[in-house]
Chains A and B, each alone.
Chain A
Amino acid sequence: MASTETASATVIEDIPRRPTILATLGAFSRENPLGACGGFIVIVMIVMAFFAPWLTSYDPTANDFGAMLAPPDGDHFLGTDQFGRDLLSRIIYGARTALLVGFVSSFVGCFLGLILGVTSAYFGGRFDLLFQRVMDVFMAFPLIILALAVVAIFGTGVQNVIIAITIPVIPRAARIVRASALAIREMPYVDAARANGFSHSRIIFRHMMPNVMAPFLIILTAQVGQAILIEASLSYLGLGVQEPIPAWGLMLRGGAQEYAESAPWVAIFPGLAITLAVFGFNLFGDALRDWLDPKMKT
């Protein structure tokens, strides 16, 4: 009896332990130091977005004509704009707008792309051929041009910007996911599912989709940075988020252009915020791709 217990204990010890989250993060950081930097920037952004009211004492939309275009100092660490609004507050609150637009449009766009891509790969044949040509039409337009067209139809505002960015993301995600799904379609377990008489939707959602999660996550993270950049571009062009909502692209419009020479902080800090955010998401996305894609490891 005693010997049996000893034997089973030995067996348990032989099974490799699942690494802790901290150990995984440590390994990720050692293998991808740049990706870790990107991840750190992303986390800072998320913290800024969630805890904005506790990080600054200024209302980001409140005008203060006594402090118009004030340079960075002890009261306003990053200075103020032409309405006397605190730039640090607007940048911190602007992270909310950037993340809201970035995550929602990327997630919705990539998720729809995931469904369409896997479905297209699963059915193949004429459906796939026709569907891919439709995707080709959408892909022929640069992302920003397609987003501009959508905004021109739906109008400006946060919701419409999200729609405008979501639509061009769909074909891009669908194309990448489809490539992985084509290989999965030929797997024996998919054949087995068919042989068991499972419905198309069950095969697609239960058996194929979970197996294309790696490319899905990669395109998702890559698109967040892209979406933030497009939101900033649309807002800069006056077609995105509207005043007085704090948004980085919008902060670069109007006052920043006019006062760039006499009050450069109005343009520099929002520009830096956009640069860092896009840089962060891109680095993190690249590192995630290297981490998750076995082909990249060989």
Chain B
Amino acid sequence: MKFKTSLLAVPLAAALAVAGLANPAVAQTPKKGGILKFVVPDEPPSFDGHKETTFALIHPIAPFYSVLIRPDSADPSNSSKFECDICTEMPTSTDGGKQYTFKIRKGLKFHDGSPLTSADVLATFQRIIFPKEGISSARKAQMSMVESVTAPDAETVVFKLKRPSGAFIPALAAPFHFIYSKAKLDADPRWYEQNVMGSGPFIFDIREAGARVTGKRNPNYHHAGQPYIDGFEAIFAKTQTLRVQAIRGDQAVIEFRGFPPKSRDDLVAALGKDITVQESDWNCVLLITPNHEKKPFDDARVRRALTLAVDRWGGAPALSKIAIVKAVGGIVFPGHELAATKEELQQIAGYGPDITKSRDEARRLLKEAGVSNLKFTLTNRGVDQPYTIVGTWLIDQWKQVGIEVTQKVESTGPFYAQLNSGAFDVTLDFNCQSVVNPLSDTAKFLPSDLAGDQYGRFKDPKLAELHDAMNGTDDVKQQRTLMRQYEKRVLDEEAHNFISLWWYRIIPHRTYLKGWKAGPSHYFPNQLDQVWLDK
């Protein structure tokens, strides 16, 4: 009997395989099982998603948490498509666009078995939007349109806005907005900085400092049938070569952040059809932030000189060959309707078509400010791509106008400690956002008293007024006009921060990884509940 079954099974399997090849829908049926190993270029400074802004937290930690809503995993490039995670359906606004009511799924549980209700969602968003003294919230500025959050019953959460805002839903969908347990927060508001306990697709298993974080499948996950994989292993590997070799040697399947073109070419040449490459523009930019509390960077002329010395148009084509950067742009994601055109950019300091003229102006400003022989330390993050490469390039650019710069490279933890304490002259910081949403994304450039992740240590009420006005209108033309004024003030008149180059995302991964699509952000989709291994 067994023999006969086997005989039948061979042609049946062959027929199914052919059918599968002919029909992509059948071929894409997720397979269950396996451990997804991926490499992460850095370790998280803490485990608190509300506080942190880095991929180093999202990649290994996001799979342990649920969020209220998230960008559409099947179409992550679409900045207007969102889906519920723990809510039941995406709400439509009421009260003239000023109120959003979310219904929370029933029967949700945290990994410790305690129930997840609207009280936990309320506690989470109150911590993010209205953080108490001593609690750091990196995205409170992006959520500044929210007037109040309430939970009228165990399954309902209501967000009331100060004014209608198209930026609200994209801001709410930030993948850092992990749902925390109210009980844990009540006991210790900073408990989540050192501990992990969520309600996501994976349960925290092991953390070996400097080596890896592992998670195992959550059998009670609220999306039926998911996750498909049994677990994951996030392997920390600081050097890019190591990460590329890990994928090449099949010790890792993917790195979710991005590789430069050379690494892509090497992997494709070595692995052929076993490697799949996904590419995307990247809602991420490296910006230069002078510490306004330190002399001579309290002088706008000195800050302007720094940006005037940088040849962005000349540097972009070359740097795009060796780093994960590509486009020249202002403060808005290039190509977006609110972004500056090339002609508009060329009116801003540091974007002029004639670099010689710009550098002459930089020298003049430095002389006028009495710092012709300016020397300072550039505090940079110890991540290969693109920090140290762009940092090295910038030092050469500044040298052209007589500025002598020493680079101080720190790993992520000490780097952010210095940024937070103000113990730096000039730093390379980033503005990487999830959903492309310039009205919200540009909150990064708000003054330090309003933006939780602005490290420039300055106040500028006019900037806040412009940002408010921009977010207070639905008229795109008016938004655009205000955005140009805001941009001019940030990058030119005050030069509070200035932009280097926008990033470009290249993700080469093992072809057997399925169910994952690269979008314009390296922050999503990273819950890993929809990925599967076709092995």
| Interface, chain A (partner B; CB < 8 A) | 61-63, 65, 68, 82-84, 155-157, 238, 242-244, 253-255, 257-259, 261-262
Residue pair A261, B241 in contact (C-beta under 8 Å): no
Binding site for A on B (CB under 8 A): 238-241, 244, 260, 262-263, 266, 314-315, 317-318, 321-322, 382, 384, 388-389, 391-393, 395-396, 399, 406-410, 414
A156 touches B408 (CB 8 A): yes
Query: Which one of B238, B263, B266, B392 contacts A243 once the chains associate, using CB atoms below 8 Å?
Result: B392
State whether A243 and B391 are in contact (beta carbons under 8 Å apart), knowing that A238-B409, A258-B262 are contacts in the complex: yes
A139 to chain B, nearest CB (A): 26
In the complex, which residues of chain B have a beta carbon less than 8 angstroms from the beta carbon of A84?
Answer: 318
- Assess the B262–A259 pair: CB atoms within 8 A: yes
CB of B382 within 8 A of CB of A61, answer no
Known: A63-B393, A83-B393. A254 touches B388 (CB 8 A): yes
Contacts of A244 in B (CB 8 A): 392, 395-396, 407
Q: Which of B241, B314, B315, B392 contacts A258 (CB 8 A)?
A: B241
The distance in angstroms between the C-alpha atoms of A275 and B263, with both chains bound, is 28
Q: Output the nearest chain B residue to A61 by Cβ-Cβ distance.
A: B396
Residues of A within 8 A of B315 (CB): 65
Instruction: Please tell me if the beta carbons of A243 and B395 are within 8 angstroms of each other in the complex.
Output: yes
In angstroms, Cα B238 to Cα A257, docked, is 13
Main secondary structure of the interface of B (DSSP, over half): helix
Q: Which residues of A contact B266 (CB under 8 A)?
A: 261
Name the CB-closest residue of B to A63: B396
Q: How far apart sit A125 and B409, CA to CA, in the bound complex (Å)?
A: 46
How far apart are the CA atoms of A254 and B406 in the complex, in Å? 18
Closest to A262 in B: B262
25 A-B pairs within 8 Å (CB atoms) are namely A61-B395, A61-B399, A62-B399, A68-B318, A68-B321, A83-B322, A83-B392, A84-B318, A155-B414, A156-B408, A157-B408, A238-B238, A238-B382, A242-B408, A242-B409, A243-B388, A243-B391, A243-B392, A244-B407, A254-B384, A254-B388, A254-B389, A255-B322, A257-B239, A257-B241
A59 to chain B, nearest CB (A): 9
Bound-state Cα–Cα, A273 to B379, Å: 29
Chain B residues with CB below 8 A from A238, complex form: 238-239, 382, 409
Contacts of B238 in A (CB 8 A): 238
* Chain B residues within an 8 Å CB radius of A61: 395-396, 399
Are the CB atoms of A156 and B409 closer together than 8 Å?
A: yes
A83/B396 contact (C-beta < 8 A), A155-B408, A157-B408, A258-B263 known: yes
Q: Chain B nearest CB: distance from A70 CB in Å?
A: 13
Q: Measured between alpha carbons, how far is A63 from B391 in the docked complex, in Å?
A: 12
* A283 to B238 Cα, complex, angstroms: 36
CB distance from B45 to the nearest CB of A (A): 16
Contacting residues, chain A, for B399 (C-beta < 8 A): 61-62
Q: A68-B322, A156-B410, A258-B244 are in contact. List 20 more A-B contacts (CB 8 A).
A: A61-B395, A61-B396, A62-B399, A65-B317, A68-B318, A83-B392, A155-B408, A155-B414, A238-B238, A242-B407, A242-B409, A243-B392, A243-B395, A243-B407, A244-B392, A244-B395, A253-B239, A257-B240, A258-B241, A259-B262
